[in-house]
Amino acid sequence: MRTIFLIAILSFFVVSGYGQQDAKAKEILEKVTKTTQSLKSIEAKFSFEMNNKAQNIQEKSSGTIILKNKKYKLNIPQMGLQVTCDGKTIWTYMVNSNEVSISNLDEETDDLMDPTRIFTIYERGFNYKYVSETVDGGVPVYNINLTPQKPTGEISSIKLMIDKPKMLIRGADMTGKDGNNYKVSISQFKTDEVFKDSDFVFDPSKYKGIEIVDMR
């Protein structure tokens, strides 16, 4: 469950060979990429919802994420989960068990699990298609569908909502192959905030009695 949760969260914050793709969708997504890559940093508050009608399951969470180049910090209080990456090392801290696992950042990491590739996901492994232009909460948005080019993976489709005036991703609906549907929405976006490199380093010495699982 934690893995698919992270896939859903990070894929929202992850949207570089082109094939025969929808021209209008490509134009929009390229503008999103250009906009986000020009930013020094991104800080966002988001809400997350998972629904499975067959099993009558509905779960809601919220969290924050900070992105700076290849560095990021993800915090989801309801899950007791903190993920910190300085561009080379990833620390995954589970608050309830006071345990941190440490691993190296793998260049082969699935794009859906790497938020630093946030707005370039559509360029690798996905077909994309422009669907419509609608209004969400008073904001004009583009709706674009992404479908995996390969049958593997846990997500069968992703619907992106693009904030038209800002050219930033506003929301995403993901359909899982396991019957779970996921929705991620941005409630607040800050850009070009100043963050120190030390903000993206997890220091175990600050957590008394912490268990360290070093997998490097």
Answer yes or no: is 216 within a domain.
Answer: no
Rounded Cα distance between 34 and 119, Å, is 9
CA dihedral (124, 126, 130, 133) in degrees, to 10, reads -80
pLDDT over threshold 60, residue 64: yes
What would the two tokens of residue 65 be? Answer: 């994420």
Beta strands in 31-124 (DSSP E): 42-52, 57-68, 71-76, 81-85, 89-94, 99-104
Contacts of 99 (CB under 8 A, 6+ apart): 93, 210, 211, 212, 213
Global confidence as pTM: 0.76
For residue 56, what is the domain's CATH number? 2.50.20.10
What would the two tokens of residue 62 be? Answer: 């919220």
Rounded Cα distance between 65 and 175, Å, is 22
Q: Looking at residues 182-211, what average pLDDT do you find?
A: 91
Length of the chain: 216
What is the span of the domain harbouring residue 38? 2-209
Tally Cβ neighbours within 10 Å of residue 185: 18
Q: What is the pLDDT of residues 95-137, one digit of tens each?
A: 999 999 999 877 545 444 455 554 555 666 778 899 999 998 8
Q: Which of 62, 16, 70 is nearest to 42 (CA)?
A: 70
Answer yes or no: is 41 within a domain.
Answer: yes
Q: What is the pLDDT of residues 19-50, one digit of tens each?
A: 446 889 989 988 888 888 888 998 988 888 88
Answer yes or no: is 215 within a domain.
Answer: no
Q: Looking at residues 183-193, what average pLDDT do you find?
A: 86
Count of domains forming the chain: 1
Identify residue 156 by its one-letter amino acid code.
Answer: S
Q: What is the pLDDT of residues 69-89, one digit of tens each?
A: 889 998 989 889 899 999 899
Answer yes or no: is 16 within a domain.
Answer: yes
Q: What is the pLDDT of residues 147-176, one digit of tens each?
A: 888 777 777 888 889 999 999 888 888 888
